Amino acid sequence: MDRADIAKYQPSSSVLEPLYSVPEHGKADAAILERLRLNVFAEPHLDARDLAAGTETAQFGIDTINGKPAAPGQTIEVGADDALQITGWATDASGSVAAPAIFATIDGATDIPGRMGLLRQPVDRVPKPLRWTGFGVSFGGFRSESGELEVALKIVSGDQRHFLLTAPVVRIFGDDRRVSGAADLASSDIIA
């Protein structure tokens, strides 16, 4: 994609200016961001709909839910328009390489892409080869007909064609929007 193609998809500077004081910086660097795949529109992205359930295991853990250390049965209040943020770590079956991608799966129907390759904290407690196996995923707008939602993780395998589906890692209950963390999950809790 050249600069002319990128420019036709960008809003005018007058639209961007309230969001960022010097919008020309972002527009000038769009091609670089695209090439480095740091732009959300960079191609290719894995699409959860193109993945098949796999049989390989993975290792993962949930570190925080909305910035609070995850604990089994933990309850957090979340407003209907608030965001839910989950951080943790995920590796392939060998436990030595970060999973290539991760999705939060809401009620088994909606897949929200997460960000893999984050630095795990605290760094001094994580073996050096595993320091960049962290992930983060966030979303909001908790509206469902039943009032309850379950969030599981789809951890993409190394071949980038299969996924492993975890048991629910978070449950959102009813109208009071309580979030319960099921942070005691381990790789043995993965379901296909």
Cα(41)–Cα(37) distance, integer angstroms: 8
Domain spanning 50-191, CATH architecture:
Sandwich (2.60)
pLDDT digit string, tens, across residues 40-60: 666 667 888 899 999 888 899
Q: What is the pLDDT of residues 159-172, one digit of tens each?
A: 899 999 998 888 87
φ, ψ of residue 4 to 5 degrees: the values are -65, -40
Contact indicator for 114, 140 with CB cutoff of 8 Å: no
Question: pTM for the whole thing?
Answer: 0.70
Gap between the terminal Cα atoms of the chain? 38
Domain coordinates in residue numbering, the chain: 3-35, 50-191
Cα distance between residue 183 and residue 62, in whole Å: 6
Q: Which of these, 36, 164, 40, 170, lies nearest to 102 by C-alpha position?
A: 164
SS3 content of the chain, % helix, strand, coil (to 5): 20, 35, 45
Hey, which of 63-67, 140-144, 161-165, 183-187 has the most confident mean pLDDT?
Answer: 161-165
Q: How far apart are CA 164 and CA 93, in angstroms?
A: 10
Nearest CA-CA partner of 163 in 57, 59, 88 = 57
